[in-house]
Each structure stands twice: as structure tokens, then as C-alpha cells.
A and B are shown apart, each in its own frame.
Chain A
């Protein structure tokens, strides 16, 4: 789960991570150990926050035998506001994934780079998106317009064919090298796919 400086300031520690995981997938039911695994932490470290969030009605939590289940509470009066807040911060990757999903079979790899990937973004930071595949900016224009509206941020796409990306890697192009040497958030594909493209 991507850490957002904005969320960290509002909800320090594991609270923002619990909220992001549950609010961004509001129909998913988690059991506590599963959520802990997703957040790469121990169930015991989540317990106090989960209790607090469920007491406030932000999460629904219930027991079935020994297992503790939890989910976002869509009935919470501030659910829509929280969903908007998390979508605009931690939700960058899932929102772009959703909006580009119809193009996924033509994308070799796509990732966010720059300040967002480094978790150094400000409230007005743009989203830098690199896409490699058999498509163009014309294909991305409308899906990215929708993603921008949902995220409240400008998205700056950089589009490469696989051949051009490979050629730039081979000639050690400054831009491609600096992007590849910096943190990235995978939208589609991963480092293996990049190697395949290359």
C-alpha cells in the first residue's frame, strides 16, 4: 500500500493503512490476519486501531468463532467523504488501473514515477505516468481524463512503443535511465515485464 504524506499527516501510523485498504475496497470482507498480511504487519499491531475505527462506526467488525472479520461501513455518514479522500491519495494506482483496464491487453507495462512514487508529493503534485505498449496517447486520453476527475490531480502520460523503449534503454537515455533507477508504482506489469519489453 502506497504511503501518502497527506494521509500520514491526517492519520498517522497504521490507521491510514487500515482505512486505505478497507475504504478503497469497500465490498471486501477481511479477516484480521489477512489484513495484517496485506499490510505486512502483525495482527496484534492492528487490533487497537480496528477496535477504535469499529467503535466509531467507520468499520464494521464482527466475530465468527475465533476469527475477527472487518469491512468498511458504507452506512457511515462520512463514508463517501473518506472514500474520496483515500481515492485522491492512496487510491492513485487502483483508480488508474480501473480506468485503463479496457486497454490492459495492449499495455506491456505502465507505472507511476516521480514525486508520487517517491511518496514526496504535495497536495497539488501531478501524476507522472509512463506507459509502454501497442497504443497511443489518443487511446489514453479519455480514460486518463476520467482518472484525473476522480483523483483531482493532473496526469502527465509519457507513451512509448516497446521498440522505442528498448532503444532508449540500450542507448542509456537519460530520462528512461533516471525513471528506471527511481521508485515506481506498478499499474500494469512489473520489473519482469519491463525486462521482457527491454
Chain B
């Protein structure tokens, strides 16, 4: 899929981001990464919260690329795929993994409880932190004015 194809399907809109918007997204990522580390929460909630931090990190990439994902069915998949397209090879290890996490998170939030394991929640938290570091490095290189 290309940016143009997502635009023509109405899944993306062009968008001009700002330092303020990026910092607001960063605050959300920090909040979710911190919450996902709280051992007292259920594995499901930790997993879903860590996933949200990954999704927000992807949203930062899409915003820096000049787009906004339209909130409609499938928008998480579009966010993650579009971020992977923008980040290039460095995102490759995360792409298939986050897509699988997206599917598990859909089950957690809408279908049934006690789906995620502690092993899975710990792994997602670790890899989301790594993904966020990849995202921040990419922003620093490509859009220094928007970097931390």
C-alpha cells in the first residue's frame, strides 16, 4: 500500500503536525508505558495499554509524514502499516509482531477476558519501548524541529 492509495481509499488525510501535537502524543506514550508496567493490573489491561503506546508511537510517525489516519474500521492496521512504510527497514522486526498484537488486543477489548499472558504483556512492553526509541531516532534525523 502507498500513501496515495490510503488517501484515495479515504483512510488517510493530509495533515500538518506541530511540536505541540507531538509532545501531547509523547505524554500519552509515556503514560501508557508507565501504566503497562504496573504489575497489579491484569495481563489483558497491561497488554492493551502497551499496545496503545505502540499505536500512539505509530501515530507520531504518520503525523510527521504529513498525514492523519481517519478513524474508521481498520484504522489501527493503517496506522501501523503506514508507520512501517515511513520508518523503512528499521521497523521491519516490529511490523508483523504489532499486527499480531493488534488482533489479540481486539479480542481483549471487545470479545473475551483473560486472553493475554504475563509473558506476552512483558514482551509487548519491552518491544514497544524499543519501537518508541526507533520512532524518536527517526524523528530526530528527519524532523529535528519536532524532536525531543
* Chain A residues with a Cβ under 8 A of chain B: 136-138, 140-142, 144-145, 154, 156-161, 164, 174-175
- A interface: dominant SS: helix
Q: Which residues of B contact A137 (CB under 8 A)?
A: 97, 100-101, 104, 120, 123-124
Could you tell me which residues of chain B, from 66 to 124, have a CB within 8 Å of some CB in chain A?
93-94, 96-97, 99-101, 103-104, 107, 114-115, 117-120, 123-124
Do A174 and B114 have beta carbons less than 8 Å apart? yes
Do B117 and A157 have beta carbons less than 8 Å apart? no
Q: Which residues of A contact B28 (CB under 8 A)?
A: none
Distance A154 CA – B106 CA, assembled complex (angstroms): 14
Contact among B93, B97, B99, B117 with A158 in the assembled complex (CB-CB below 8 Å): B117
B37 within 8 A of A: no
Do B120 and A136 have beta carbons less than 8 Å apart? yes
Do B123 and A136 have beta carbons less than 8 Å apart? yes
Q: Can you pick out 5 interface pairs between chain A and chain B where the beta carbons lie within 8 Å of each other? A: A137-B97, A138-B93, A156-B104, A157-B100, A164-B117
B127 to chain A, nearest CB (A): 6
- Closest residue on chain A to residue B100 by CB atoms: A141
Distance A181 CA – B96 CA, assembled complex (angstroms): 32
Do B117 and A138 have beta carbons less than 8 Å apart? no
Contact among A144, A145, A159 with B119 in the assembled complex (CB-CB below 8 Å): A159
With A174-B114, A175-B114 as known contacts, state yes or no: A138 contacts B127, CB within 8 Å: yes
Distance A136 CA – B100 CA, assembled complex (angstroms): 12
Do A141 and B99 have beta carbons less than 8 Å apart? yes
B95 to chain A, nearest CB (A): 8
Q: Which residues of A contact B104 (CB under 8 A)?
A: 137, 156
With A138-B127, A174-B114 as known contacts, state yes or no: A160 contacts B96, CB within 8 Å: no
Contact among B97, B114, B119, B127 with A164 in the assembled complex (CB-CB below 8 Å): B119
With A174-B114, A175-B114 as known contacts, state yes or no: A145 contacts B96, CB within 8 Å: yes
Q: Which residues of B contact A140 (CB under 8 A)?
A: 100
With A144-B100, A157-B100 as known contacts, state yes or no: A138 contacts B114, CB within 8 Å: no
A177 to chain B, nearest CB (A): 12
Do B99 and A138 have beta carbons less than 8 Å apart? no
A188 to chain B, nearest CB (A): 17
Q: Which residues of A contact B120 (CB under 8 A)?
A: 136-137, 158-159
